[in-house]
Structure 1
Amino acid sequence: MSPVEFEESSVIKVLGLRWCPSKDCFSYKVSLSQPTSCTKRRILSDASRVFDPLGFLAPVVVAIKIFFQDLWREKVGWDDDVPQELEKRWTTIRDELHLVESILIPRVMWSNRTNKELHAFCDASLDAYAAVVYCRSVDTNGNVTVSIVAAKSRVAPIKVLSLPKLELCGALLLTKLVDKIKTSLQEANIRVFAWTDSSIVLHWLSTAPKKWSVFVANRTSEIQSSIPFKSWNHVRSVHNPADVASRGIPPSLLSSTDIWWQGPCWLKKQPTEWPVSHYNVNDIPCDILEQRKSTKVQALMQGFWKRWHQEYLTSLQSRPKWQKAQRNLEVNDVVLLKEDNLPPSKWILGRVTEIHLGQDNKCRVATVKTINGSYVRPVVKLAPLPLTERPESSRGGQNVLN
């Protein structure tokens, strides 16, 4: 196949992204019309002209996203003028957008390199979280080249999340971005180094997901299935290029922010000179680890329930016939025969003629003579009458029953 020839001044355009074949670099073209008003509709129209599919302008784009979220919180109508403070912020960003046209990004990441690695960084602020990936390649002479591959940023949700949770969202964004890059480059076995400045995220990733709350468990499980914990490392915030994309910077500062385009300076050094991962789990407050409540409280709850069941629940329904000593029925005691389907006023009156003692000399069954005949009943079905004097056997029986 014969090579394709391009004119030296030719530029291939795809929306706002341009490729210059003579320099083999990507650049941007931002065409903004003259502002006639400052409404939400007009601001969105101008912002959509910044086309950045690979995320090279992520620090600028995230600043625009954060601005839009603030604009949304003000509940401004589409055709209403925005508040003066927000208008001033947008004017500053808009007036500097043309400065990104001077940025040139080399298209080629490596050529005839023997060793290739992907270094991915993630970070978060209370406003947004981001991830950026670099390719580090070493040629046969030991020369190291570091190139930015792609980046991605997201604004934090309006519902407030803690900073460690946002850092975890950044780690998940990093994982998805790395998977997409590996698929695009057709380099499934390329070595990946993941970097974060959050010791809490590293601690979450170092243990089984089931130990943590649902929010943390779902995300750590997805991260661990793609990037194992041994590939994760700790980096200081000042050496984390994703910090730039998580906070946002003005367009005028983007071209001079070297850490964004080339990564931290130590990436061009030997691996022995890279920062050593170090974090102390004991320094992490327990209340922000998002540990599952069941694992922390389950043992205490089970112990409490066992004692409550054994020591308190059984005392709610007293058993006086088992716990309190009672007088045995005796012959000639006057009793009422209990009937579940009759009111007490209709119970039949009777006299005990015989008692039946158990092995413990307790009377649990008695023979009772009534006006209708004799019956053998358990004592729980008899209601002794509290007579001060027990009737005589002959005269009392005749008086009661006849």
Structure 2
Amino acid sequence: MIEDGRIVQHKCEYEKVLGYKYHPESDTISISHTSVQKNILSKRDILAQTAKIFDPLSLCAPVTVKAKILLRKLWLFKLSWDQKVPTDIMTIWSNLAEDLSGLRNLSFSRQAVDSDSPLKLYICDASPQAYGFVIYGLQNGKSQIIFSKVKVAPMKAKTLPMMELLAVFIAFKALSMLLRTYSNIKIENIIVSVGAQVILSWLLSDNGNAKSLYTRNRIRDFHDMKENFTKEFGMIIHYKYVPSVENPADLLSHGVSLEKFKEKLDLWTCMDSSGTRELAYKYLELPESGKPATCGKCFS
């Protein structure tokens, strides 16, 4: 915008773009300024304050998911909307409100992908109080977050493998939308990174042997979705194992404080904890069909 003279000239240091603040000088985006109140009394108050954070790409999801998990906890307590919440909840919210207000000080690279270079997509999953995924684009040896999505666990308890399967399930739903959006970009590979051997077995086997009927139905839905995906886009999906400690989507599992999020920001935004933005994943790559390959180091 600066080079071609299309930048709007005014005294404000940022533009408003899709709810974010865009800074042309640094080519970064950030959360719009919000003031989250610390003093709350009810579940209604917490929901109202949480809704102030507008982050459609879920760039700050590892922090904002803590508010969703807290609301889920209040539902489990069976509190009414205007009933006073317990003192310990007020304390938790007070600390969380400071973190939510501080998100406006973080900035993220505006450019996620380059339309002139081939692109590889990496999808990582998460679990157990919340489940979700984060999608990265890899070009020219460098990676950048595109967007993420996270949901809290259902009120009815699910097993950990079931939660991880749900994460992969919603990731595939978003993947079709993403490929249609990036129809002008050449997609070289799609890699699904999963951190559980049982999930890999379900994804790579045509017949899920799970005991739960709900799980078997989700496995069947996944394979139907994958078949439709292959027919529409003609692409083969590759699978890789990634240890939880090095999986950026693992930050979505329980949520993290703002301070912890700042420490893990390089891992979250570009899948690299060293800050070099060079992709370092060299994990076990699995075949498209059949049982997953075994690796003592990976699955021990």
TM range (shorter): 0.7 to 0.9
Report the counterpart of residue 186 of structure 1 in structure 2. Answer: 183
Secondary structure of the corresponding residue to residue 263 of structure 2: coil
Distance 1:37 1:245, change over 3 A: closer
Distance in 1 of aligned mates of 2:273 and 2:98: 31
Distance in 2 of aligned mates of 1:206 and 1:277: 12
Report the counterpart of residue 4 of structure 1 in structure 2. Answer: 6
Give 1:348-387 correspondences, 5 Å limit: none
Give 1:3-402 correspondences, 5 Å limit: 3-7=5-9, 9-13=12-16, 16-32=19-35, 34=37, 37-111=40-114, 113-125=116-128, 127-138=129-140, 144-187=141-184, 190=187, 191-209=189-207, 213-226=216-229, 230-257=237-264, 258-264=266-272, 268-269=278-279, 274-277=282-285
| Count of paired positions | 275
Secondary structure of the corresponding residue to residue 126 of structure 2: strand
Distance in 2 of aligned mates of 1:15 and 1:78: 31
Task: Letter of the 2:178 partner, please give it.
Answer: I
Q: TM-score, normalised by structure 1?
A: 0.62
Distance in 2 of aligned mates of 1:229 and 1:115: 16
Structure 2, gaps ≥5 residues long? 211-215, 287-291
CA contact (8 A) 1:165 1:216 kept: no
Task: Give the drift of 1:131.
Answer: 0.2
Distance in 2 of aligned mates of 1:92 and 1:211: 44
Task: Give the drift of 1:29.
Answer: 2.5
Task: Give the drift of 1:229.
Answer: 7.1
CA contact (8 A) 2:43 2:79 kept: yes
Distance 1:146 1:35, change over 3 A: closer
Secondary structure of the corresponding residue to residue 124 of structure 1: coil
Sequence identity (%): 23
Distance in 1 of aligned mates of 2:52 and 2:19: 7
Of 19-28 and 164-173, deviating more is 19-28
Task: Letter of the 2:269 partner, please give it.
Answer: W
CA contact (8 A) 2:40 2:90 kept: no
CA contact (8 A) 1:119 1:194 kept: yes
Cα deviation digits, residues 22-49 of structure 1 (max 9, x gap): 2221101242265554211211111000
Distance in 2 of aligned mates of 1:97 and 1:14: 20
Cα deviation digits, residues 56-107 of structure 1 (max 9, x gap): 0111121111000001111222222111111111111002222211211111
Report the counterpart of residue 213 of structure 2 in structure 1. Answer: none
CA contact (8 A) 1:100 1:255 kept: no
Distance 1:63 1:37, change over 3 A: closer
Of 37-46 and 225-234, deviating more is 225-234
CA contact (8 A) 1:203 1:281 kept: no
Structure 1, gaps ≥5 residues long? 139-143, 284-402
Distance 1:194 1:210, change over 3 A: closer
Distance in 2 of aligned mates of 1:164 and 1:146: 28
Task: Letter of the 2:139 partner, please give it.
Answer: S
Report the counterpart of residue 334 of structure 1 in structure 2. Answer: none
CA contact (8 A) 1:119 1:133 kept: yes
Distance 1:148 1:183, change over 3 A: same
Cα deviation digits, residues 146-177 of structure 1 (max 9, x gap): 11100000111011111111111011122122
Q: TM-score, normalised by structure 2?
A: 0.81
Distance in 1 of aligned mates of 2:190 and 2:88: 44
Secondary structure of the corresponding residue to residue 53 of structure 2: coil
CA contact (8 A) 1:121 1:196 kept: yes
